[in-house]
Structure 1
């Protein structure tokens, strides 16, 4: 092959590569646009809400445990039918 033909082939390959790269970039942008993504700010906000909810749940669970223990103690002191 002559040097000119090689240069022409190289240019053609570069152009085709650019087209393929552009098409892939467009396809990726469309695919990412369809994903249910949230911003970092929204993620952080939801993480904070979840943390507070977990803390509240832990407090409620502790309260329920105390109430269950108190009820068990009360039932021990007052047999059924009294």
Structure 2
């Protein structure tokens, strides 16, 4: 008799555990759906774009530095006459 009651309680607990687990999974899926997540592929694509942008910026900065030096040298040789 007591074994039957224990068995019944165990089955009920297992059922309740399954329900709770299902509810938690659903809640987690909803919460994750609201997060601003991107796929690994999108992340990798954006990382590559960022790397190319950094490289281009470095090239442009170097070009500007060369032009600034050339301008300074030109102004040194040909000072503005007011």
Aligned length: 82
Cα RMSD, aligned residues only: 1.8
Unpaired stretches in structure 1, ≥5 consecutive residues: none
Partner of 1:28: 28
State the TM-score, normalized to the length of structure 2: 0.84
Q: Distance in 2 between matches of 1:3 and 1:73?
A: 99
Q: Distance in 2 between matches of 1:79 and 1:64?
A: 21
Deviation at 1:39, TM superposition (A): 2.1
Partner of 2:48: 48
Find the residue that maps to 2:28 and give its secondary structure: helix
Deviation at 1:36, TM superposition (A): 2.2
The 5 A counterparts of 1:1-82 are 2-81=2-81
